[in-house]
């Protein structure tokens, strides 16, 4: 699966295109649901719906060039807001972690909003 990462603010650098593993969790969502016990022994459940801002997408790649790893590392160091295009969806957010383990890159992308369906 391809992931495309680019800065939200203008940058002369090209977007980073990365081949990532399919199990990114990009389709995982959780509703904002709370349950409170009531005095009669039951409960009240409140469903506040879905918020994409609760999502974290895990990106893992072992098929990338050294220049790609350097560009991603620079994005993390800059603490820049980025766009992530993956699996037919586009998000804004931040690369919250970056870890190189040999030839494998592991990153976490914290979603702040979804831009497309």
The predicted-structure confidence for 61-76, as pLDDT tens digits, reads as follows 887 888 888 888 888 8
What's the CATH code of the domain at 94? 2.40.30
**Token pair in block for residue 81:** 């807001």
Domain residue limits at 43: 2-114
| Beta strand pairing call for 82-86 and 2-7 | antiparallel
- What whole-number distance in Å separates Cα of residue 57 and Cα of residue 87? 11
pLDDT for position 117: 63
- What whole-number distance in Å separates Cα of residue 65 and Cα of residue 18? 9
**Token pair in block for residue 41:** 């022994």
Nearest to 26 by CA among 52, 2, 1, 57: 57
Question: How many domains in the chain?
Answer: 1
| Beta strand pairing call for 82-86 and 16-19 | unpaired
Taking only the tens of pLDDT, the chain with its 117 residues reads 888 888 887 776 778 888 888 776 767 777 889 999 999 999 999 998 888 888 888 888 887 888 888 888 888 888 788 999 988 889 999 988 889 888 888 989 999 998 876
E strand or H helix at 11: none
């Amino acid at each position: 699966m391809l992931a495309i990462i680019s800065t939200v603010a203008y940058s002369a650098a090209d977007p980073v295109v990365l081949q990532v593993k399919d199990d990114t969790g990009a389709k995982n969502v959780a509703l904002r649901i709370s349950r409170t016990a009531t005095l009669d022994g039951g409960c009240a459940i409140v469903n506040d719906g879905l918020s994409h801002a609760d999502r974290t997408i895990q990106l893992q790649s072992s098929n990338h060039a050294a220049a790609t790893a350097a560009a991603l590392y620079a994005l993390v160091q800059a603490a820049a807001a980025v766009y992530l295009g993956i699996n037919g969806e586009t998000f804004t957010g931040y690369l919250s972690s970056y870890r190189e383990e040999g030839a494998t890159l592991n990153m976490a992308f914290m979603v702040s909003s979804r831009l497309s369906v």
